[in-house]
Structure 1
Amino acid sequence: MKYRGSCHCGQVAYEVEGEISGVISCNCSMCQRKGSLLWFVPRESLTLLTPENASSVYKFNKHVIAHHFCPSCGIHPYGEGRDPQGRAIAAINIRTLEDVDLAEIAVTPFDGRSK
């Protein structure tokens, strides 16, 4: 299935393809503050509809995840990194997707604070 998502003001917009079978709720210092629900997909499943430089990037801790956010409205639609096998992945904040019923999606806690 193809989903559309964006920040609040629309300056950062994207499409992502795949099936949402579940998401994680991470308790690291960043995700807990953002309230993100993250769905991980291969990076090639994410297509930006706005220029890549429309978002700003924040990296912290080990500096391996690029947390993309809108410099205008502050919403964090997605992040980019690598999985344990070294493949490029995108972490989609499903709260920024259109037409997704969050109540129907299984949420698994993840202890990112200890990592």
Structure 2
Amino acid sequence: MWFVPREKLRLLTPENEISTYTFNKHIIKHRFCPTCGIHPYGEGVGPNGNNMAAINIRCIEGIDLASVPVQNYDDLSL
């Protein structure tokens, strides 16, 4: 996932053609394709109060996944 301010996200598909799923506290809007089920992005509010988008970078045309830095997270040490 790649996090950007929501206003920086430009969709190629009309927003009314994307479905929304929420769960638990219904804070994050998980956007998905109703035809194939892919989850291209989610929407929420960042810690600073700004609207954010979490983008599935595999949905970005022309991106070289091998060039994207990866940050591992060890949740077992919590």
Q: TM-score, normalised by structure 2?
A: 0.85
How far apart are residue 111 of structure 1 and its match?
A: 6.6
**What secondary structure sits across from 1:91 in the alignment?**
strand
Q: Matched residues in 2 for 1:58 and 1:111: separation?
A: 27
CA RMSD of aligned residues (A): 1.6
Q: Paired residue for 1:70, among 23, 33, 37?
A: 33
SS of match in other structure, 2:71: strand
1:84 has 2:47 as partner: yes
**Among candidates 56, 60, 75, match of residue 23 of structure 2:** 60
DSSP-derived class of the 2:10 partner: strand
Q: 1:98 to 1:49 in 2, by over 3 A?
A: closer
Q: Percent identity?
A: 63
Unaligned runs of 5+ in 2: none
Letter in 2 for 1:52: E
Pair member with larger Rg:
2
CA distance in 1, matches of 2:72, 2:23: 21
Match of 1:99 among 59, 62, 73: 62
Where relative contact order (Cα < 8 A, 6+ residues apart) is larger, the structure is 1
Change (3 A) 1:70 1:111: farther
User: Any gaps of 5 or more consecutive residues in structure 1?
Assistant: 1-37
Paired residue secondary structure (1:95):
helix
Runs of 4+ in structure 1 deviating by more than 6 angstroms, as ranges, are none
Aligned with 1:53: secondary structure? helix
Q: Give the number of the structure whose residues are more often strand, by fraction.
A: 1
Q: Between 87-96 and 59-68, report the one with greater CA deviation.
A: 59-68
- After TM superposition, give the deviation of residue 63 of structure 1 in Å: 1.3
